[in-house]
Amino acid sequence: MVVKEVKDRIREIFKESVRTKERFLENNIEVLAEVIRTLGSVVEGGNKIVFFGNGGSAADAQHLAAEFVNRYLMDRPPLAALALTTDTSVLTAIANDFEWSEVFSKQIRALGKAGDAAVGISTSGRSSNVVKGLETARDLGLVTIGIGGPADAPMRRLCQHYLIVDSTITPRIQETHLLVGHTIVELLDEMLFGGRTSA
């Protein structure tokens, strides 16, 4: 690739990322606002949020749990959140003794309770372990939230709130997921602790 071709591709990638986020906003703003209000109620009620996903979505789960437990833009009390993707002994034991599709559902049965929120993250909306985790969470009375991809994904039927990212390009979906997660934390901080956050 010559320098001009590289620059053109950079522009294309950035523009497609922006377009994906704009489509998401047009189609999901009401659902996202409800997700933020719901998670605020969960936290205010003394309950916790559990995040889970695979690969890049596992990294997002850990990232968002850290923003809740530590801080985002403002110093405030820690908020109860955890990622079900971090304990390699638990993950590998479940995968070895049972199967990979059980790695989140067994943790939810052990750690979740009615009133908590389960946030499943999947770019395809089809990951079997995320689907099974959401199914278990629903059956146990947790609030179920999906940060997904396609509108027709299997995880949608298990979610009280499902956020659709209308794209076939995995990296563009992941970039939107991260913006969604940051928006959730930022607005929750503003709702629960008052005022606009600042660096």
Does the residue 137 lie in any domain?
A: yes
- The pLDDT of residue 45 is 97
Does the residue 113 lie in any domain?
A: yes
Residue 35 has pLDDT above 80, yes or no: yes
Specify the 3-state DSSP secondary structure of 143.
Answer: strand
Mean pLDDT value of segment 109-133: 98
* Cβ-proximal residues to 193 (8 Å cutoff; 6+ apart), any chain: 74, 76
Does the residue 76 lie in any domain?
A: yes
Radius of gyration, CA atoms only, the chain = 17
DSSP β-ladder status, 117-121 and 81-83: unpaired
Residue 195 has pLDDT above 70, yes or no: no
Looking up tokens 């946030």 gives 119
Question: Which domain covers residue 115, as residue numbers?
Answer: 3-193
Q: Among residues of the chain, what percentage have pLDDT more than 90?
A: 95
- The pLDDT of residue 3 is 83
- The pLDDT of residue 198 is 52
- The pLDDT of residue 4 is 84
For the chain, what is the domain count? Answer: 1
The torsion of the CA quartet 79, 148, 57, 94, rounded to 10 degrees, works out to 90
Does the residue 199 lie in any domain?
A: no
Average pLDDT, the chain: 96
- The pLDDT of residue 67 is 97
Spell out the alpha helix ranges (H) of the chain.
3-44, 56-69, 88-97, 105-111, 128-140, 170-193
Tens of pLDDT, residues 57-106: 999 999 999 999 999 999 999 999 999 999 999 999 999 999 999 999 99
Taking CA atoms, 59 is separated from 26, 116, 128, in Å, by 26, 21, 18
The pTM of this model reads 0.95
Tens of pLDDT, residues 40-59: 999 999 999 999 999 999 99
Strands, sheet with 117-121, edge to edge from the N-terminal-most edge strand = 81-83, 49-52, 117-121, 143-147, 161-163
Structure tokens at 98: 């049972």
Tens of pLDDT, residues 155-173: 999 999 999 999 999 999 9
Residue 197 has pLDDT above 90, yes or no: no
Does the residue 198 lie in any domain?
A: no
Domain with residue 107: its CATH number is 3.40.50.10490
